[in-house]
Amino acid sequence: MATAVTTAAACRNFIGGKWVESSATQFAERRNPANTDEVVARVPLSSRGEMREAIAAAKAAFPAWRETPAPERGKILFRAVRIMEQQKEALARLLTREEGKALSDSLGEIQRGINILEFMAGEARRLNGENYPSELRKNFSYTLKVPLGVVGAITPWNFPFCIPVWKVAPALVAGNTCVLKPAELTPLCAIRIAEIFAEAGLPPGVLNMVLGSGEEVGDELVQHPDVRAISFTGSTEIGCQIYASGARRLQKVQCEMGGKNPVVILADADLALAVQSVLFGAFASTGQRCTATSRVIIEESVADQFVSTLAERAKAFKVGNGLDAGIEMGPSVDENQMNSVLKYIEIGKQEGKLICGGHRLTGGAYEKGYFIAPTIFDHVPAASRIAQEEIFGPVLCVIRVNNFDEALAAANSSRYGLASSIYTNDASRIFEFIDRIETGITHVNSPTVGGEAHVPFGGIKDTGVGPREVGHGALDFYTELKTVYIDYTGRKRESSNY
């Protein structure tokens, strides 16, 4: 099998089952964010024409893939699962080199991707419809799930392995062909995914991948008339544009976008447990995850104790090159993201009380990377910018309240609605929080981050539109429902109710 270049030489596109040298004249140089001396990839800024070639390849491959029995499609995915399991350590190291997160976080991401792929492979034997009793004698009615055709997947840099897998897997199981447009910052994981599916026996053209900018190849994927659906993960601004574009052309669109996830801590909570969970939720993956804990909303009576303990632990958090042993947090993904976080930190110094962090880490092992110290602001107003806008970095805001009702109001004050958490031992407060919190995911006495392969993932409000991703329900987005009526009377129908 031909392989893609995964060194500092230019990466290639995957079109029609072949690795194709891009005709691009411009390239984005991708460097290891923990050591900018290391060039990990040169990413071609491919053209609209190259994206059109990929879409044409997917369209040509669709009829045969649609006719492939679903269990046979599932067997190919199961083979890909086994390959990923065998290469788990190498995949995690590759992820850390190009994205920066600590190796422990990368291993967790790879495993989650494997779990999702394994679950979806099994769904190939469960593409069930429903039978319905007919009002008429000797009539049989039922439903079928049928594939859409060519679907596009646009994926972000912060989970460059897991998110492409959780979009591609249900698309393929359902019988669609797919064109993947990964983030420019993290091409190598997407390349390995395409290689693994090809090695597992996926027919040419069923999965295609084009590298390049969102403004060029991403826009072509979104606008092309042969693309029946788009699944997007990224910023709310871009997601809204994609959703509006799809509406004009009756294209199915699914968007998972921003988050500003609150943890509510009541006075009766296990504070030691809450500290451990908030520390992990806020600073693991450098805070660069849509489910990261970005707001702690805590009752005043226990706030001093909580903040003091949390700050002590945050100061000891081990920051560095994610490939080094014992590292708990890596760098920002690139200089632009680092500068964006630093800008918010300066805003935060005017809006709250800086407790720890608040600066770039320099010198020694930090000199050639984009490292920021874990940062905590206390006494932050719920309406302030750092409490309302997504920072996507290791920055945590502490908002103090007097009671549960104030805590719930502060938690719901965000435009986003992805994940939330509450720490308390009061059962009535737990269930009231579950009823009233405006998020698509909520946790009780556990962090805002995390999820399982068979459980739906997604948010409400400005966080998401379209059916949920992951789990059995993910197939709803990648299929259409066909209703079938079979009349076996052999006679003309004498009357009708419709």
Q: Is 89 one of the catalytic residues?
A: no
Indicate whether 112 and 231 sit together in one domain.
yes
- Does 489 reside within a domain? no
Model's pTM, two decimal places? 0.95
Indicate whether 125 and 215 sit together in one domain.
yes
- Does 94 reside within a domain? yes
Domain span at 239: 13-257+463-483
- Look at the chain and report how many structural domains it folds into: 2
Residue for token digits 């390849």?
A: 57
pLDDT at residue 7, rounded to an integer = 46
How many helices (H) does the chain have, and how many strands (E)?
15, 22
Give me the chain's average pLDDT, please. Answer: 96
Look at residue 239 and tell me whether its pLDDT is greater than 80. Answer: yes
Contact 162, 113 (CB under 8 A): yes
- Does 31 reside within a domain? yes
Q: By three-state DSSP, how is residue 251 classified?
A: coil
Q: In what order do the strands lie in the sheet with 353-356?
A: 353-356, 375-378, 395-401, 293-299, 261-265, 419-423, 441-444
Residue 3 — very low, low, confident or very high, per pLDDT cuts 50/70/90?
A: very low
Task: Give me the amino acid identity at 350.
Answer: Q
Indicate whether 281 and 324 sit together in one domain.
yes
Indicate whether 93 and 57 sit together in one domain.
yes
Kindly name the residue from 50, 256, 328, 469 that is annotated as catalytic: 256
pLDDT at residue 4, rounded to an integer = 47
For the residues 36-40, what does the mean pLDDT come to? 95
Q: Measure the CA–CA gap between 24 and 12, rounded to whole angstroms.
A: 10
Indicate whether 164 and 268 sit together in one domain.
no
- Does 348 reside within a domain? yes
Indicate whether 248 and 276 sit together in one domain.
no
- Does 99 reside within a domain? yes
pLDDT digits (tens, 9 = 90+) for 188-212: 999 999 999 999 999 999 999 999 9
For residues 27-39, one letter each, b for 16 or more C-beta atoms within 10 angstroms of the residue's C-beta and e for the rest, the string is ebebbbbbbeeee
| 180: nearest Cα among 113, 471, 189 | 189
- Does 110 reside within a domain? yes
Q: By three-state DSSP, how is residue 35 classified?
A: strand
Q: Is 189 one of the catalytic residues?
A: no
The first and second tokens of residue 410, run together, are 């502060």
At what angle are helices 187-199 and 70-86 packed, to 10 degrees? Answer: 120
- Does 3 reside within a domain? no
- Does 450 reside within a domain? no
pLDDT digits (tens, 9 = 90+) for 243-285: 999 999 999 999 999 999 999 999 999 999 999 999 999 999 9
Residue 8 — very low, low, confident or very high, per pLDDT cuts 50/70/90?
A: low
Strand boundaries in 189-340, DSSP class E: 207-209, 227-233, 252-256, 261-265, 293-299
| 181: nearest Cα among 391, 395, 421, 14 | 14
pLDDT at residue 407, rounded to an integer = 98
Kindly name the residue from 11, 290, 356, 397 that is annotated as catalytic: 290
Indicate whether 266 and 404 sit together in one domain.
yes
CATH of the domain at 28: 3.40.605.10
Indicate whether 210 and 169 sit together in one domain.
yes
Indicate whether 288 and 412 sit together in one domain.
yes
Indicate whether 168 and 53 sit together in one domain.
yes
CATH of the domain at 386: 3.40.309.10
Indicate whether 237 and 121 sit together in one domain.
yes
